[in-house]
Chains A and B, each alone.
Chain A
Amino acid sequence: MIRLEKRPEPSKLWSWATPPLAVILTMIAGGLMFAALGKDPVAAIRTIFWDPIFGEFAFYYRGQLLVKAGPLILIAIGLSLGFRAGIWNIGAEGQYIIGAICGAAVGLAFYPWESFIVFPLMVIAGAIGGLLWAMIPGLLKVKFNTNEILVSLLLVYVAEFILASMALGALRNPDGSGFPGSRNFRSYPAAFNDEIIAGTGMHWGVAAAFIAVIFAYVLLARHQLGFQIKLAGQAPRAARFGGVNPVRLVLFCLGISGALAGLAGLFEVTGPAGQINIDFNVGYGFTAIIVAFLGRLHPVGILLAGLLLALTYIGGEAAQSALGLPAAAIQAFQGMLLFFLLAVDVLTNFRVRFGAGEAA
């Protein structure tokens, strides 16, 4: 008979050990899944996790690592603040899209003005776009007590339709001979989010992600607001008595996560993606949820988790071309990772006891 015994306090050791354990379990289960698809599991795992960093074409993949990790980390940092406080913004994908649209629209409005001021203005517009989109669930939550989970998620679909409408209408490239999609920012240097150090994949979005990690760390460790966020999540009643303003907290958490997601969208559209198009969003907003949990909602953890998930993206692409592994397999793999993480999390909060104990 196996029993669970609640720990008086979450185990420090296990809260460090569970994410790597979950990754290992996912590799095993993922290997079984790849075997079921008729691929060599060892080769598949090696292609995904080893070759992009140490393999023959690592020089190409290493740059891609930062390109993919940047938006994931940036979004996940914002989400983690809300998740800690029990405020569930799961519509980051929508805020990412709207941020990209707003930022790109500002940039395109200035075309072809070559000035150093264009890009900063776009960045601000991107952040504001994401912020405003996240304020919809935020304000509905504080004014009408509407569930922010459902509203933020439903707004993702609305944002996708707006994206389609923009790519086919207002933002379409006037010189694009009728093809959908905006002007490509590659041909507009003042608005292009170029690599800061050529060949590393390090663009302004990645830099912003690192800055966000530092800010979040300071906020949580040293600032009163960070304390209030943690308090509201762990002891909502105590937080109320302690004078935490719930309205302010909801708006702050949703606002900051929206703004960061908007920034991620802006940096992506002006850099790696290059243009607003129908299929611009690729699900970073959802994968960032996995990143936030895998990183234990801790800024440094999120940094590492973001790099790992980025690795599964590029490793997955490599495995697609090398082994013919379907693209969807990676998506299932990422979902599995979250499951295993949540499952082994039981070890953090509970002690597992074997043998018959006293009657429960």
Chain B
Amino acid sequence: MDLSAINPTLLVAALMVASTPIILAAIGEMVVEKAGVLNLGVEGMMIVGAICGFAIAVETGSPFWGFAAAALGGAVLSLLFGVLTQYFLSNQVATGLGLTLFGLGLSALMGQGYVGIRPPEMGKIEVPVLSDLPFFGPVLSNQDAMVYVALLLVMATWVVLRFTRAGLVLRAVGENHDAAHALGYKVVRVRMMAIFFGGACAGLGGAYLSLIRVPQWTEGMTAGAGWIALAIVVFGAWRPFRVLLGAYLFGGVTVLQLNLQAAGANIPVEYLSMSPYLITIAVLVIMSSGKAKAALNAPACLGRQFHASS
């Protein structure tokens, strides 16, 4: 094994790319959960976003429209979940699972004509000044636009949740929907908007996989990224920057194991490939036990049904 073949700068630059889909999906899901809704359909929305984005990008030749379509696709699918759980008062766990199963089937159906095509490439953005710095230059600059969009989204989510009235209302709905309702806030409407936002983010994350990270369309290509995003939200204790950290950790493990595979490590490929999932489980365990007790941070009404009459 030749470890010197692994270049730390390139590793971190690749980490930024590997963690972006998780950041996008996880930050969307975090907002949904902050509003008190548990949407387990992230995987389904991601994969539908992946194929919507891929198809439109190929048809129009523009990655930008691809991403727009992906966000729309993920959001429309999430509305299905929203209508069922918020208006038809269905079980959120079951509906989320249904969304994932349906999304996987639907995406495979939509993607039939798109296997084996290369999508149009997305340009890189060179950030002036930053790109001249050693180490930080190659890591932070010269990435594609979505890497920056994801970072800005984390920042914006933090600002909105913490400092604005809208963020306060959203958190109130998630912490105590009966009180929020009594104060006159439209619980269901707020939740629908949060679900919509979460769907759009998951769609973007999926499209990032199919348009930039892989870049290709194959059935089931998200390979659990949506579930990892859900785990990252727990790991991040429903705080935007810790969610970001969690996504980087996951991205780091993914990139490292890929590099180890390339360097010819003396471990079978399958065991390296399963390491990101195992590490995600390990951090989940650490976060939910002992002093960390991430669960204490969970929105109090997470996963609970709201019906104005009860």
Taking Cβ atoms with an 8 Å cutoff, the residues of A that contact B are 4-6, 37, 88, 90, 140, 143-147, 149-151, 153-158, 161-162, 164-165, 168-169, 286-287, 289-290, 293, 326-336, 338-339, 342-343, 345-346, 349-350, 360
The residues of B with any CB-CB pair to A shorter than 8 Å are 40, 80, 84, 88-91, 93-95, 97-99, 101-109, 112, 219, 223-224, 227-228, 230-231, 234, 268, 270-271, 273-274, 277-278, 280-281, 284-285, 288-290, 295, 307-310
Q: How far is the CA of A199 from the CA of B199 in the complex (A)?
A: 48
Q: Chain B binding site: helix, strand, loop or mixed by DSSP?
A: helix
Q: Name 13 interchain pairs, CB-CB below 8 A, sorted by A.
A: A4-B307, A4-B309, A140-B281, A150-B227, A150-B284, A157-B274, A162-B274, A164-B270, A289-B97, A336-B102, A342-B95, A349-B89, A360-B308
Are A150 and B230 in contact, with the CB atoms below 8 A?
yes
In the bound assembly, the distance between CA atoms of A349 and B234 in angstroms comes to 31
CB-CB under 8 A from A342, the residues of chain B are: 84, 88, 90-91, 94-95, 98
> Which residues of A lie under 8 Å from residue B101 when comparing CB positions?
286-287, 289-290, 331, 334-335, 338
Q: Which residues of B contact A156 (CB under 8 A)?
A: 224
Q: A151 vs B223: C-alpha distance in the bound complex, in angstroms?
A: 15
Instruction: Compute how far the CA of A286 lies from the CA of B142 in the bound complex, rounded to whole angstroms.
Output: 41
Question: Could you tell me if A145 and B109 are in contact, using CB atoms closer than 8 angstroms?
Answer: no
Residues of B within 8 A of A146 (CB): 281, 284-285, 288-289
B-chain residues with CB within 8 Å of residue A290 when the two chains form the complex: 98, 101
Asked if A144 and B94 sit within 8 Å, CB to CB, the answer is: no
Whether the Cβ atoms of B278 and A158 lie closer than 8 Å is yes
Nearest-Cβ distance from residue B260 to partner chain A, whole angstroms: 15
Interchain CB contact under 8 A, B308 and A329: no
Distance between Cα atoms of A153 and B101 in the complex (Å): 13
> Contact between B105 and A334 (Cβ–Cβ < 8 Å)?
yes
Contact of B106 among A140, A154, A335 (CB under 8 A): A335
Given contact pairs A150-B230, A158-B274, A158-B277, A328 touches B112 in the complex (Cβ within 8 A): yes
Tell me the nearest residue of chain B to A2, going by C-beta. B87
Tell me if B102 and A338 are in contact (CB < 8 A).
yes
Complex: how many Å from CA A144 to CA B287?
9
Q: Would you call A338 and B227 a contact (CB within 8 A)?
A: no
CB distance from B34 to the nearest CB of A (A): 17
Q: Is the CB of B90 within 8 A of A346?
A: yes
CB B197 to nearest CB in A, in angstroms, measures 21
Q: Is B105 in contact with A329, judged by CB distance below 8 angstroms?
A: yes
Task: Determine if B277 and A154 form an interchain contact, defined as CB atoms under 8 angstroms apart.
Answer: yes
Shortest CB distance A343–B (Å): 5
**CB–CB B270/A151 < 8 A:** no
- CA–CA, A155 and B271, complex, Å: 13
* Contact present for A161 and B271 (CB under 8 Å): yes
- Which residues from B are CB-within-8-Å of A140? 281, 284-285
Shortest C-beta distance, B155 to chain A (Å), equals 26
In the complex with contacts A162-B274, A338-B98, A154-B112 CB distance below 8 A = no
